[in-house]
Chains A and B, each alone.
Chain A
Amino acid sequence: MNTFGIILLLVEIAIYSGIAWMASKKSLPLTLIGVLVGIFFGFLISLLAAMVTGATPSTAFVLSPDGASNIVIIVIATVVTAGVLFGLLSWLAGNNEPAPAVKREAEKQKFNFAPRPAAREAVKPMMIPNRTVVKPGTPSVTNDGVHTPAEGFMPVHPTEGVFGMVAIPAATIIDSIPEAAKYLEGMTTVRVRLALFIPQLKKATAWLTWRQVAMQSEAERATENDRPDVELLNRWVRIPPQVYVSQVPIEYFKVTTTAPVWMKQTPVTQEEQFPLDEGPM
């Protein structure tokens, strides 16, 4: 084997080593086996190619690569062997599985009927409420003293462009939510945004959630270090009208009255039989 043949062999070994190292997931034994298999397989292919092309059908030809055609045969054999070697070692090393990121994505896309763990935790057993004989839409007080507004009532949005605050006695809030007492310690009143009351003026009772009271009032400071749980934040505070009516500017109570048709009729003489005084007619 001449010098050129040795260089070619070294290059071949380097290529096989690199491919075997990567394909075997950096396993040294597999790399060594891969190099040996590669040299042997490459030699066989080169020999086969030489016999097929009929150049010089002998082992000596392969071991002493002289001439351009012989070099081409060896290079082709090396490339083919490298490909085969890569596939073989990948299979042996279990490298055909998808990459971890691809695997995770595929797992996600698999449909699963079971609720996810977070959803399972959120589901709480429901209690059948006590039956009460009330008109639908009537606010109620449940047996455990919790005030709730009419069915379907949603928390109001503050009216835009309305500024100012309304002082609500802490006792009023504690009456609806006894658990709020610890957040209102030392406070006689809680100042809540006027804008939350304006949309409810016509209803004669203001319903705010503890979240609305606590997060949009001075009580926020009291709660920020100890956030109540979500269930408590969504509890209703019933604020009767006498608490806030006197603090709402009078202009919000002005309404445009529209007299009904029967009031516009002209008086008749027959109605004089009904004097509008205190005594019996």
Chain B
Amino acid sequence: MASINYATKEINCKLVYYGPGMCGKTTNLQVIHSKLDANKRAEMVSLATPGERTLYFDFLPISMAEINGFVVKFGLYTVPGQVMYNATRKLVLRGADGVVFVADSQWKLMQENVDSLENLQSNLAEYNVNLNELPYIMQYNKRDLPDIAPTWYMDYLLNNRGVPTYDACAPEGKGVFTTLSALCRFVIRDLVHRFESGSF
């Protein structure tokens, strides 16, 4: 749930990058951090193991838009993808305004994608939230690798709601900003409608 600070005229939103281990969530944030103007972002905080696996979460605050004189700031978070860190994932997911589900396009990781999406839904359910209410989009990452599944098959497995999907190759920056922009649009749209309807 976005928070509004009337004193500083800020709206803070939380966007979470979710997905199986090693699918490229942290890489997305690193690319955003490296390519975004310094005046639009703060420093990235990353709690990782020596093997560069996310231990707790990554955090990158960016300020990118304005609604009715309020600056909209997005806090970008990633979750640890390793299956044993479910408690951390659940904690990071709390109060999310939007989710990017980063799926690994490699054939051998299809089941991990399916399991991770199910895990996302069950963790959201614990906060009484479901994916019909929460804006989320799909990023099919690692499209540059040779042994990858076709997107129609990934749609069949992961996208039974027909949400927007974006192909990406995160280390090269392909699809990273398109994905972020698309989610920000949905989150802003949702915010504005809630403002207008008075349900905010």
Contact = CB atoms under 8 A, between A and B. Distances in A.
Interface of A: 133-135, 137-139, 201-205, 240-242, 245, 253, 255, 257-263, 265-268, 270-271, 273-281
12 contacts: A135-B86, A202-B157, A204-B157, A241-B153, A255-B156, A255-B160, A262-B190, A265-B189, A268-B193, A270-B192, A278-B175, A281-B180
Nearest to B157: A204
Interface string B147-159: 1010011001101
Given A205-B110, A262-B133, A268-B192, A280 B35 contact: yes
Interface stretch (B1-9, B22-30, B46-54, B113-121): B113-121
A147 to B, nearest CB: 12
B115 A138 contact: yes
Q: Which of A139, A240, A241 has the most CB of B within 10 A?
A: A241
Contacts of B119: 135
A277 B178 contact: yes
Contacts of A133: 83-84
Q: How large is the interface on B (under 10, 10 to 19, 20 to 34, 35 or more residues)?
A: 35 or more
Nearest to A242: B107
A260 B161 contact: yes
Given A135-B119, A274-B182, 12 more contacts: A137-B115, A139-B111, A204-B114, A241-B149, A245-B153, A260-B161, A267-B189, A271-B186, A278-B178, A280-B36, A281-B40, A281-B181
A274 B188 contact: yes
Interface of A is mostly: loop
Contact of B67 (A134, A270, A280): A270
Contacts of B131: 260
Contacts of A134: 83-84
B185 A203 contact: no
B19 interface: no
Contact of A135 (B32, B84, B108, B147): B84
B97 to A, nearest CB: 11
Contacts of A265: 189-190, 193
Given A260-B132, A262-B135, A281 B177 contact: yes
A271 B193 contact: no
Contacts of B163: 259-260, 263
B174 interface: yes
Interface of B: 32, 35-37, 40, 64-67, 83-84, 86, 107-108, 110-111, 113-115, 119, 131-135, 147, 149, 152-153, 156-157, 159-163, 173-175, 177-178, 180-182, 184-186, 188-190, 192-193
Contacts of B84: 133-135
B121 to A, nearest CB: 12
Q: Which of A138, A257, A263, A275 has the most CB of B within 10 A?
A: A263
Contacts of B174: 278
B122 to A, nearest CB: 10
B108 to A, nearest CB: 7
A274 B184 CA distance: 7
A279 B157 CA distance: 29
Contacts of B184: 271, 274
A274 B192 CA distance: 15
B133 A260 contact: yes
Given A204-B157, A245-B153, A270-B188, A259 B162 contact: yes
Contacts of B67: 270
Nearest to B154: A204
Given A259-B161, A278-B174, A281-B177, A205 B111 contact: yes
Contacts of A255: 156, 160
A215 to B, nearest CB: 25
A266 B193 CA distance: 9
Contacts of A275: 181
A276 B189 contact: no
